[in-house]
Chain A
Amino acid sequence: MQGGSYTKFHTKLADLKTAHSERLKEAKSLLRNSAFGSAIAYGIYAVEIYLKVRICERLDLEALPRPFQIHDLDGLLVLSGLSRRMDELGVSPIKANWEELTLLDVSDFRYKPANSWTSEQARTILSQIDHPRDGVLRWLKKQ
């Protein structure tokens, strides 16, 4: 049988589940080691990977199909089935944090020198992701 692109599974759900929390821990470790740009990038990876976990769970799949291996947070939120819930937050610090995160392009972090980002900026982003009350990742996990 010829498989379409939807049958080409790659990343396993079990791996994604482990990876998202590991990326967040690594982001915090990179921040402590003054690697601010990398800390920001790893924080965003954690959000991206967690949304991929939710896509797999929603579709009852054990691995993420290739067409869903995208990095666009807008798209991942739609595919995870959580975009309406995010919109329904209305004017909320969580939504404001999400909108800040969607501005960032992770590919920028690959090619720019480390001094392009400050400690305060890295702390801001990691707080937007993991703040106990208003963090995007914390909110996503409660949905």
Chain B
Amino acid sequence: MAKKTITTVEPFFSANRLQRCLRLVAGALTKYAQDKGWKPDSFGIFYRVNEDWGRVHIIFVSEHIDPQTKYQNYVDVLGYLRQTLDEDADLLDNLSLVTRSQEQVNQGGIYEIGPGYREYWTMNPDRSDPQFIQ
């Protein structure tokens, strides 16, 4: 008899699904930055989880993002997320993504990161660093 695979579908608005979306997207964004050779202090991931309405809002900020090509940055990053998340790409239905240059954030106003946002920190030690003890 063929082995049955049991898959659980998390409801669209579930807190678990939102946390999973946040965790996977933040991880993928960190990888995106690493792939581009961005130093860890040159980008930031800020988030707000709207549990009432099933949205994870993420602002991806970097000094390497060009404010003049705002829409293209959004397209590039979302394309990368779709590719990287692969079979978890349906989680992107819960995601609201905005890309920002550091210059825009410094400008404030509509580009200010609101008080409802928290910075996402990933433990990602550089294994090539001799101070990193395995």
Task: Tell me if A's interface is mostly helix, strand, loop or mixed.
Answer: helix
Interface: A105 (CB within 8 A): yes
CA separation between A118 and B78, bound complex, in Å? 28
**Interface window among B1-9, B34-42, B47-55, B126-134:** B47-55
A99 and B75 in contact, given A121-B110, A125-B110 (Cβ under 8 angstroms): no
Verify A103–B59 contact, CB threshold 8 A. yes
Verify A100–B52 contact, CB threshold 8 A. no
Verify A105–B79 contact, CB threshold 8 A. no
Q: Kindly supply a per-residue 1/0 record for chain A positions 70-85, scoring 1 wherever the CB is within 8 Å of any chain B CB and 0 otherwise.
A: 0010110010000000
Q: Given the complex, which residues of B lie within 8 Å of A103, measured CB to CB?
A: 57, 59, 96, 98, 110, 114
Verify A74–B50 contact, CB threshold 8 A. yes
Q: Given the complex, which residues of B lie within 8 Å of A14, measured CB to CB?
A: none
Q: Given the complex, which residues of B lie within 8 Å of A78, measured CB to CB?
A: 53-54
Q: Which of A87, A100, A103, A124 has the most CB of B within 10 A?
A: A103
Verify B114–A105 contact, CB threshold 8 A. yes
A contact set with B: CB distance below 8 Å = 40, 72, 74-75, 78, 87, 91, 93, 96, 98-100, 102-105, 108, 116-118, 121, 124-125
Nearest first, the 10 closest Cβ-Cβ pairs linking A and B are: A74-B53, A117-B109, A99-B96, A75-B53, A121-B110, A74-B55, A121-B109, A96-B74, A87-B93, A91-B78
Instruction: Identify 8 residue pairs between A and B in the complex whose beta-carbon atoms are under 8 Å apart, listed by A's number.
Output: A91-B75, A91-B78, A96-B71, A105-B114, A117-B109, A118-B109, A121-B110, A125-B110
